[in-house]
Homo-oligomer: A and B are copies of this chain.
Amino acid sequence: MTSMDLSRFSINQMTVKQLSLPELAVACGELSVRQVGLWREPVQEYGLAATAKLIRGAGLTVTTLCRGGFFTAIDPEARAAALADNRRAIEEAAALGTNTLVLVSGGLPPGSKDLRAARERIADALAELAPYAGENGVRLAIEPLHPVYASDRCVVSTLAQALDLAERFPAHQVGVAVDTYHIWWDDRAPAQIARAGAGGRIHTFQLADWTTPLPEGVLNGRGQIGDGAIDMREWRGHVEAAGYTGPIEVELFNEELWARDGREVLAETVERFHSAFL
């Protein structure tokens, strides 16, 4: 393997979730990977302070914490619990030294068919959380999820919708997550990336490729970079033309990748990232 410029590369922990946090830190060291995106559950399991220490000790930077959100409940108690959980997520992000908390906003509550109302409840939740995020030096990144997830996971389906929500707040409090997997089909996305960049609201840029057939439940079929339909170079061009110079995080949910040796998958991901932008 020739020497690669990995200064922009970040590996999202989910891509190699078969690796424990210490294993991930070692594997990153071996491959000269310097940046990681982390998830709350494995961090909580290992311990927040222990994770922060491990990551710092390994010379790694945390690019994002995934994820807050799930703001669409109607029940007042469920809403209060979600807000409390998101305050903890903000604190965890700050403790890990990342300035970006990714939000998956939540699907339709049971029995509801009202997407508009669900989206408005997200705005209500952001109004409560955005100042707290700002006080903690953490930016909330609303992630539009592919419309295939609109009913059960995220009623925010396009960058335009995410920006409509984000722009109600200062950019240092709320922006968006640009993930190729979720937006690649959308002919309006390039203009929305420009809009996001002009407002300083591209808070993370993530890659996954679109491969078919999708597995049952459509959650864990995100393709390795280069295996699918998405022109990664084109999308990187859009975010960079919009002024984005931050990390490029590879976040794959893929049963086949998870079944393999995690270090091998990380090495492959590094190689694919490099090849995509040659």
Residues on A facing B (Cβ under 8 Å): 108, 113-116, 146-148, 150-152, 157-158, 161, 184-187, 210, 212-218, 228-231, 234
Contacts and interface: CB of A to CB of B under 8 A. Distances in A.
A215 B157 CA distance: 20
A92 to B, nearest CB: 29
Given A185-B157, A187-B161, A213-B216, A230 B148 contact: no
A254 B151 CA distance: 18
A114 B233 CA distance: 12
Contact of A146 (B115, B147, B231): B147
What 6 A-B pairs have minimum CB-CB distances, sorted nearest first? A150-B185, A151-B229, A147-B185, A113-B231, A148-B148, A216-B216
Nearest to A157: B185
B185 A115 contact: yes
A218 B214 contact: yes
How many copies the complex holds: the figure is: 2
A148 B214 contact: yes
Contacts of A114: 231
A195 to B, nearest CB: 15
Contacts of A215: 216
A117 B269 CA distance: 29
Contact of A213 (B108, B115, B212, B217): B217
27 contacts: A113-B229, A114-B231, A115-B187, A116-B187, A146-B147, A146-B148, A147-B147, A147-B148, A147-B185, A147-B186, A148-B148, A148-B214, A148-B218, A150-B185, A150-B210, A150-B229, A151-B185, A151-B210, A151-B212, A151-B228, A151-B229, A161-B187, A213-B216, A213-B217, A215-B216, A216-B216, A218-B218
| Chain A interface main SS type | loop
A230 B150 CA distance: 11
A146 B158 CA distance: 13
A87 to B, nearest CB: 29
A103 to B, nearest CB: 18
A96 to B, nearest CB: 32
A186 B148 CA distance: 11
Contacts of A108: 229
Contacts of A161: 187
Contacts of A214: 148, 214, 216-218
A210 B150 CA distance: 10
A272 to B, nearest CB: 15
A44 B186 CA distance: 36
A33 to B, nearest CB: 26
A215 to B, nearest CB: 6
A187 B234 CA distance: 26
